[in-house]
Structure 1
Amino acid sequence: MARVLIPSQLTAYTAGATRVEAAGATVGAVLDDLDSRFPGLKFRVIDEQDRVRRHMRLFIGQAETRSVAKALGEGDELLIFGALSGG
């Protein structure tokens, strides 16, 4: 299981939870597991072509990834960040 940190703009999907656990050997599999429990969450992070949306950032530990095929090890932490904009 991986620990997943959910950004505040997505906590409406997780009933307010900012940390959840999810199963999967890759980033995509973890997001699929999350989406099965929190419908709609994956679509906010991944587009129709299975790419990380431009305004989203994913980190495994401290290393950024843009690939849903990136492997996750047991106990890894996946951090999801949403870019902030404004002026």
Structure 2
Amino acid sequence: MIRVSIPSQLIAYTNGATRVEAEGATVGQALDDLDRRYPGLKFRVIDEQDRIRRHMRIFVGQDEARTTAAPVPSGGELLIFGALSGG
């Protein structure tokens, strides 16, 4: 089981939960599992080419995941952040 931290801009998909759990050995598998329970969440994080959207950041523990193929250890933590922008 993986602990997943959900950013405030996505909690509408998780019924207000900021922490949820997921199954999977990679970032993509964990997001697929989340999307089965929280439809629409994955599309807000991953684009049509299965790439992490440029305004989103995903960390596996303290390491930034650059692709959905990034491994997530069992019992690990996945942190999803909405990147800030502006000028």
- With the length of structure 1 as denominator, give the TM-score of the two structures: 0.96
Q: Partners of 1:63 and 1:85 in 2: how far apart?
A: 21
Q: Secondary structure at the match of 1:17?
A: coil
String of CA shifts for 1:35-87, please: whole Å, max 9, x gaps: 00000000000000000000000001110011101111111100000012345
Work out whether 1:16 is the aligned partner of 2:12. Answer: no
How far the C-alpha of 1:11 sits from its partner, in A, is 0.1
Structure 1 residue ranges (4+ consecutive) displaced by more than 3 angstroms after TM superposition? none
- With the length of structure 2 as denominator, give the TM-score of the two structures: 0.96
Percent identity between the aligned chains? 75
Q: Secondary structure at the match of 1:43?
A: helix
Q: Aligned partner of 2:9: which letter?
A: Q
Q: Partners of 1:48 and 1:79 in 2: how far apart?
A: 21
Match of 2:7 in 1: 7
Q: Partners of 1:86 and 1:65 in 2: how far apart?
A: 23
